[in-house]
Chain A
Amino acid sequence: MKLERLIGIVLRGGVMVSSACLAAGLLLSLVTGDGGVAGFLLNAGIIVLLATPLARVVVSTVQYVGERDWAFATLTFVVLLELIASAVAALVFNRKI
């Protein structure tokens, strides 16, 4: 499949899942408070939202490797590493590492 279409599907899927989680979590949190299922849905929505551009970069890297386009495979892989670095920095600030 062409990369552009694949990326379109990944982005659309990510937006739909995260928006659904955020909307459901938000409505539920107004009824039951922030904890429990509402908190889980809200955090899941945020994580899917953050993971969507990441997934788009992963898909691009895989596609470029498949096409043997090493220049762009390397570039997208570096972007992937930068996103992973910010996740690691987040864990460091959170004192999980």
Chain B
Amino acid sequence: MPAVTASLVLIIFAAGTIAGSLGALLGLGGGVFLVPFLNLVLGFPFSAAAAISLTTVIATSSTVSAGRAGKQLINMKLGMLLEVATAAGSFLGGVTAQFVSQSLLQRLFGFVAVIVAVIMLSRLRHRNVILDPAADPGVLGGRYHEAESGCTVSYRVKRLPLAIVASFVAGNVSSLLGIGGGIIKVPVLNAWCGVPLRAAAATSAFMIGVTATAGATIYYGHGQLQPALAAAACLGVQLGSWGGMKFGAAASSKWLKILMAAVLVIVSAMMFLRGGR
């Protein structure tokens, strides 16, 4: 367990701010940047890094979803159904993480970081599903008002079993590695299950709070979460994602995505090098 000093608190606060603003600009949680920083740069044990990162994931999920609740963008019914799978995956991941070696987790993180980079690059131009505004959304579908186009969008959920499997995997990876898992769920919901991108992102962000809670509770109970450092990271990430959303909306994120994909490839290589020892 890393010892708490004023300078360490400041470093983690700053790292959280950067990870949070990058996350908001890229539309993913900051965990995929925060975990390697804590583990590789500051030398924290992987479990301590994952535990701190998971608390920032919860804080981001609650903040973002509180702001969006009541605007119909979050598909609560779909979210609550998929939470059954994602929380089960997260619970199993949190328990498994207590028994597997740090080097295995590092290699797994390296593997996931490359996948995240590839998904990010493949989605440089957002795809959206073709929508029929008159369609009946059914029990699980949704309907929301889109500010940009000024019209009401409605959609049906397709291939529900696929969404359930993706949610389970995302939950599992989330608590093993300390990331939110939205990067797995959002593309699946959007590309294959008929959920428009904005609704998929909002629903995923909503679910992630429950996912991360199942994992973080296990780390906290096992004494792997240093509260003061988690506090610094949470406050930093909240500041960063607030700033990222407020000032970053207009910025073109294409080059940022390419740059961050490159960073993730480097992170992945470093994780494999460490994990291979």
Which residues of A are in contact with B by a Cβ distance under 8 Å? 2-5, 7-8, 11-12, 14-15, 18-19, 22-23, 25-26, 29-30, 34, 38-39, 42-43, 45-46, 49-50, 52-54, 56-57, 60, 72, 75-76, 78-79, 82-83, 85-87, 89-91, 93-94
Contacts and interface: CB of A to CB of B under 8 A. Distances in A.
| Chain B CB within 10 Å, residue with most, of A3, A5, A85 | A85
B234 A22 contact: yes
Contact of A87 (B55, B67, B70, B221): B221
Interface string B204-229: 00000110111111111111010110
A25 B209 CA distance: 23
Interface in B30-76: 55, 58-59, 61-63, 65-70, 72, 74, 76
Interface of A is mostly: helix
B104 to A, nearest CB: 19
Contact of B231 (A2, A5, A23): A23
A57 B211 CA distance: 12
B98 interface: yes
Say whether chain B's binding surface is mostly helix, strand, loop, or mixed.
helix
Interface of B: 4, 6, 9, 55, 58-59, 61-63, 65-70, 72, 74, 76-77, 80-81, 83-84, 87-88, 90-91, 94-95, 98, 209-210, 212-223, 225, 227-228, 230-232, 234-235, 238
Residue in B209, B219, B220, B231 whose Cβ sees the most chain A Cβ within 10 Å: B231
Contacts of B209: 11, 52-53, 56
A5 B227 contact: no
Nearest to A82: B87
